[in-house]
Structure 1
Amino acid sequence: MSRDANSTQEVLKDANERLQSAGTAVADSNEFEMDDFNIEEADHADGTTGIEGDPKKEQWLYLKSSNAFMRTVRRIWYGPEVPEDLAPSFPGKWKFTEKIDKFPMVGLRKRFSWSIRTMIMVVYVCIWSALMCAFIQYYYIKPPVFYRNDGTQIPVRTLTCQSTLFWKGKNNECGINASQCLPFEDEEVYIRCPALCDRGSWTYSAINVGDERIKYTGFEVGGGELREGEKLSHPYRADSFACGAAVHAGIVSPFTGGCGRVVMTGEQEAFDPEKGHFNTGMSVGFDSFFPSSFEFRKLLNGYGSRCYDPRIPVLVANIVLSVPVFYLCEGLYGYWILTIAGYVTLVFFLDPPLIVDPYDSEAFSPLLSLAFQRFLPLAFVLYVLWKCSVRRTLTNGSPLAKAVCWFPTFWLGVMNNVTFDRLPVDRLTITDLKEQAGSFLAVGSIIATIVSCAVVQAYSLWKSGRFRKYLCIYLAFITALFALSQLPGLSLRIHHYILGILLVPGCATRGTSAYLFQGILVGLVLSGVSRWDFASIVETRVALLRGEAGSSWDPPTLDYNQNYPNFISWSFPNATEVQNGDLNAFSLLINDVERHVGTNTTVDLAALIQQDAKLARWADNSITSKGFAKLYLRVARTSEDRSLELNGDYTNAAVLEWPQGRYQEPEPGVS
């Protein structure tokens, strides 16, 4: 054998020895592997090594040639000479960690047979499932009631954080003079509120209150704490979110939820903003007349049953009960049990997608059906994530690293609605970012974190010799996302479950970073799908508006002439735009309540106000005391046939001090 062949043989033997000592699973890589290099097959009778003409075998030797710059580039592209992808270990002075890490294998699997371990696990999971069923029975099946001292029962209405009592919605949803949202007063209701309504009562779709546009804050108008006799709060405007108002007034805890007694208190002349409990901030102020309101009062003597939301106890119980399962079980079994536990926690307790009224015996069935509907495709996604990434990390890995790194970050992702959702970021659109204070700083921090984690994980992939393959995969992902963003009429929406699905494959290594990143990403996938299903990656403009104005017919322009102070009129600036078809009328709001629907374009405010005795009385009192009544006016196109439910967008509110004639033009835009 020639001298060059001997030299090559020595180098290759040394490389093979280092690969074997590292214990890496190089067979998983699609790149060139040194084990494929057979020394004996390389020796030819003519004294050559057999390397020439074989690109795969020439690659390693080629890295040794050329100048320093090219060697650096090729080293980055092809990876290190000896790929390495080791599971975390706990050496050194912490000897007890080695015993903990080896306990599942030494302490259990060698002492107990597979059948005994399986039987113990089945019994454990059955007890765990029975506990979850007991919580479901408590909160969803048996209705909450309040018992008076004489034993009589008062039913309790179950609400979501964004439910209203009798008010049906914004703008003209309650009909003329709000006749479809009665009663305004002399009505008492007991309500049950879920936990987390300090943030759950935020409105993410803009609602106009007078000339203010309310978004990204709790929708509670007026109110505030008041401890005066039976009264526990000042009046809230009737369209306020009742459970959000209960948290704002300190009646209900955001951690446990609870029950409250609500009394309708009729019309109010104004609603002053007040500071709330539990860091809910100031409520929304409204300085004019509104026909309906409610306040909280003390519960009657007696006691309530099943008022408190169990989501926090269930979350803690599932975290505690899943620790031994995930630590002791082999990777596949622990992965499936943990992800199913996380999904059940989310869909039934932590962030349920539907409200269940326990007084309706059929109300729980839709939630159960929805849970199975979403879980079946989700199970396929979880399986794919296991095959492409999670299996490499958890199989034959470190049990202690699973429990210390993968497990906590997984639950951090599952609890997205109480962790990341509380950051001042709603959606990554310029419009939404401008409307939410602190959003640009939060987005910048998130991007910096993701980039830092990506760099760390890219280095782990490079060390394992698979950087080139995953770089090509993610370039393909980026190309596909760019192509989707260019689809006409659609906007790219990378929901957090999509972000998890896209990033998990890049965490297919065995290092500590993979344990940390995989856990949180799988948790985000569960959180997104359980609450919002597989929402589309591209959405229409109407879907992005989430019920906000901007997708319907443009309104006319409000006009006011001080020479005729009792009249308000409207017109279209474009003379070619006229009423046609079914859209043949106009809707006028006064103080956010619909007061007029008709085909005429001029309205006598004095006559309109006199049609409602309470509104007329307030206007007369305001004129007597202050010299004017402050009116907020908005107009939109509609249909005279209300059964058609055709409505355009409203103008922003014009402010009129009537009958003095001081008039403020509405801001540009629609509401």
Structure 2
Amino acid sequence: MTNTEYTPPSLAQHGEFELEVLEVDKHCSHNPSPYRDSTSGSEAAFDNETIERLLQGRKYPRTVKGKIIRIVKLIWTGPETPSDEPTPRFRALKRLDNLPGSLKKTLPLWLQVGIVSIYLLLWLWLLSLVLLPYLTQIPTYIDSNGKQMEVISVTCNQQKLFWKGKNTACGLNGKACEPFDKEDVVFRCPALCDRESFTFSSIPVGDQTVKYRGYFIGGGDVYREVSEDQNEHELSLPYRADSYPCGAAIHAGIISPFFGGCARISYTGEQEHFPSKIGHYGVSPSLEFNSFFPSSFIFKKLPKVSVNHDPRLVVTLMNIIMGIPVVYFAPAVVSFWTMFTVAFWTIILALDPPYKIDPSDPEMLASLVSLGLERFLPSCFIAFTMWHVAVRHTMSDPPEPFLPSPFTRTLFWYPVFWLGVMNNLTFDRLPVDRLTWKDLASQPGALTAVSCIFSVIILGVLIQAYQLWHAGKFRKYLAIYLLFVLGLVLLSHLPGLTLRVHHYILGMLLIPGTRTRGSQALLFQGVLIGLFISGAARWGLASILETDTHLRREDPDERVSPPSFLGYHNETGVLSWHPTAQKTENGTMAVVTGKFDGYALMINDIQRYEGKENHINMKELIKGNPDFETLVDHALESDFDNDGNILLYLRVARAVSGKRKYSAFTQAAILKWPSGEFTAAKRGIT
């Protein structure tokens, strides 16, 4: 073969591209090659890989556009040699990683099964000792007469046993909530009421609209105040009677948010003013109401109560500790299903029950177990799918030559699993109620919190996307998630419905993309499975689409708009309002139907008038109601300002005569009494 210069014909006409020429050492000249270098005489062997590189250089020139194309192609095709390796084992902890395998080889199968069975039975027995008394035994105390009395079990935001509710719930002049000086009440609150006593529906308090915070008005720890006439049995200052009792008890330092407890309230009748006070346990200061209200309560010392404290945190901590050996020693499939079951029933029975258990009603516990089973079965089918789609690949022992690492699984998967399960202690503490634009816009700090959450999610998605690319699975999962996104977009455009991606749905959607090995996949799977269990156990498999009525909760309905205040005439004492509809907060005009033929007037959050007239004489209204007149006279003695005025907060709504049916109320107008200075209501409804 002669020494000639050769240029591939297909590349000769593209001389502007820089081509690589592979020179072969002289010692390799025994390899046959049709190409020889004209200068050195050595053979340049163009194997298949070299030709491919030359063709790539021809397709994608070394320009910015060509580089972008090469990068996109690299992302799309993945690495030349896909790899999905587990996280390397810790050399210093080699013995810990080898211990489960050694025991498995040493102990016969029947002994392994026996040890696991005894351990699980011991676990169940310890839980029953701690949890069953709280669920089944009626709490009691001994009163001053030596008689054994039952304690009422309430929820954190339960109000109707003490006050019927907001707006017209107590009826005209509050008659449905009388007497305003009831007998003392002893009640038991669950744990975590520092957060659970929040109101997630707007409640009017004077000219304020309260939402996304604890609902307790006035009050405070009596020992923080210096008073000569302080009663040694009194533990707090007066709270307005419609305050949530459990939230107020934590604010006053009577019970603990960690373990709940019992408290005793004593009704103290009318109060002229409810100042804001700093609370205990880091809760927000109480709300201020700078006018009179017909009923209030204080907390008093309480005798010893049986079955006082809520064991939910003790039960949860016990399950976390008892679960560590299971995750460490047992095979992946056993540890997954054991912890799934334990976590699910921990939420149902202790950590975040779907509803309160009253031990005085023996059927309630059975109903709770029934509800738990109703949610457990479909959740198991979803968990089974998760296991086969992604979890088994990550948690099971890797193929040879890689060695299993149970310590890594326990270290990376288990803690974040409980982080997701304890959602009501972790993520629920963030200032985010629901991922709807209206809620995010109205809740302080929500947009910032959501921005941080999405930043973390995006970072996790990028990390996991790289792992999928490195494993050669990027194209497959990109197509899957594009279908997911397309489906969500289509659902969000259905008329009359709002898309709600609950946290259990978030776990279901993101789990498939974690099908890789390594510590990052263990972290992501742990928290996502925990979130799924938390949502499915506490709330059930709630719909991904919800109606506006359901999302509104107990917020005012904009479909029927209230009238608008015209003003107050000081000489005649007439307060009047215009019957035409006003614009709602979003600027739309609400509909007024013919059924609403009357009006209702609230004064200081108590209904004082209902009739068909679009005006009322305030002087006659006060004088014609002895109880109301007494309240006003006592309040005038306290003097709100230097001119001897008190504040009256006025709200008006439409009413259906004789039906106790009302539209939304206006925001509060303010009337200084008796000077007659009137401040118009802001736009909006309550």
TM-score if structure 2 supplies the norm length?
0.84
Structure 1 counterpart of 2:41: none
Single out whichever of 428-437 and 273-282 deviates more from structure 2: 428-437
1: distance between equivalents of 2:54 and 2:460?
31
2: distance between equivalents of 1:59 and 1:347?
61
Amino acid at match of 1:609: I
Q: How far 1:63 moved relative to its partner?
A: 8.4
| Cα distance, 1:611–1:403 mapped onto 2, change above 3 Å | farther
Residues 524-573 of structure 1: CA deviation (Å, up to 9, x unaligned): 11111212212221222222222111344111112224255522222223
Q: Please say if residues 564 and 581 of structure 2, whose CA atoms lie closer than 8 Å, have aligned partners that are also in contact.
A: no
Structure 2 counterpart of 1:381: 382
Structure 2 counterpart of 1:662: 677
Structure 2 counterpart of 1:619: 632
Q: Please say if residues 65 and 71 of structure 1, whose CA atoms lie closer than 8 Å, have aligned partners that are also in contact.
A: no
Amino acid at match of 1:639: V
1: distance between equivalents of 2:667 and 2:311?
42
Q: How far 1:80 moved relative to its partner?
A: 1.4
| Alignment pair present for 1:199 and 2:199 | no
The 5 A counterparts of 1:359-374 are 359-374=360-375
| Alignment pair present for 1:329 and 2:342 | no
Q: How far 1:244 moved relative to its partner?
A: 0.3
Structure 1 residue corresponding to 2:113, chosen from 105, 115, 118: 118
The 5 A counterparts of 1:81-480 are 81-92=80-91, 94=92, 97-107=93-103, 109-148=104-143, 152-164=147-159, 165-227=161-223, 228=230, 229-300=232-303, 303-396=304-397, 397-480=404-487
SS at match of 1:162: coil
The 5 A counterparts of 1:636-651 are 636-642=653-659, 645-651=660-666
2: distance between equivalents of 1:156 and 1:558?
46
Amino acid at match of 1:253: S
SS at match of 1:304: coil
1: distance between equivalents of 2:426 and 2:593?
50
| Alignment pair present for 1:609 and 2:622 | yes
2: distance between equivalents of 1:242 and 1:344?
28
1: distance between equivalents of 2:373 and 2:127?
16
Residues 441-471 of structure 1: CA deviation (Å, up to 9, x unaligned): 2222111111111111111111111011001
Q: Please say if residues 565 and 659 of structure 1, whose CA atoms lie closer than 8 Å, have aligned partners that are also in contact.
A: no
| Cα distance, 1:510–1:185 mapped onto 2, change above 3 Å | same
| Cα distance, 1:226–1:61 mapped onto 2, change above 3 Å | farther
Residues 363-417 of structure 1: CA deviation (Å, up to 9, x unaligned): 2222111111111111111111111110101111521111100000000001111
Q: How far 1:59 moved relative to its partner?
A: 13
Single out whichever of 601-610 and 336-345 deviates more from structure 2: 601-610
Q: Please say if residues 561 and 581 of structure 2, whose CA atoms lie closer than 8 Å, have aligned partners that are also in contact.
A: no
Single out whichever of 602-611 and 264-273 deviates more from structure 2: 602-611
Amino acid at match of 2:78: G
Q: How far 1:76 moved relative to its partner?
A: 1.4
Structure 1 counterpart of 2:599: 586
Structure 1 counterpart of 2:227: none
| Cα distance, 1:578–1:483 mapped onto 2, change above 3 Å | closer
Structure 2 counterpart of 1:501: 508
2: distance between equivalents of 1:469 and 1:608?
74
Q: How far 1:148 moved relative to its partner?
A: 4.8
2: distance between equivalents of 1:73 and 1:448?
24
1: distance between equivalents of 2:647 and 2:158?
29
SS at match of 1:418: coil
SS at match of 2:271: coil
Q: Which runs of 5+ in 2 are unaligned?
A: 1-47, 61-66, 224-229, 398-403, 583-588
Residues 401-437 of structure 1: CA deviation (Å, up to 9, x unaligned): 1110000000000111111111122223333233333
| Cα distance, 1:62–1:631 mapped onto 2, change above 3 Å | farther
Residues 113-155 of structure 1: CA deviation (Å, up to 9, x unaligned): 2222122222222222233333342111111111358753121
Amino acid at match of 1:298: K
Structure 2 counterpart of 1:630: 647
SS at match of 1:274: coil
2: distance between equivalents of 1:565 and 1:422?
52
1: distance between equivalents of 2:51 and 2:621?
92
Residues 597-628 of structure 1: CA deviation (Å, up to 9, x unaligned): 22222222223223443321232244465533
SS at match of 1:132: helix
Q: How far 1:65 moved relative to its partner?
A: 4.6
Residues 185-214 of structure 1: CA deviation (Å, up to 9, x unaligned): 141011111111111111111111000011
Amino acid at match of 1:254: P
Residues 619-656 of structure 1: CA deviation (Å, up to 9, x unaligned): 224446553332111111222223xx532111011111
| Cα distance, 1:91–1:399 mapped onto 2, change above 3 Å | closer
Q: Which runs of 5+ in 1 are unaligned?
A: 1-57
Identity of aligned residues (%): 42
| Cα distance, 1:72–1:487 mapped onto 2, change above 3 Å | same
Residues 498-538 of structure 1: CA deviation (Å, up to 9, x unaligned): 11111111111111100000000110111112122122212
2: distance between equivalents of 1:60 and 1:602?
94
Structure 2 counterpart of 1:535: 542
Aligned residues: 606
2: distance between equivalents of 1:226 and 1:324?
48
1: distance between equivalents of 2:533 and 2:217?
35
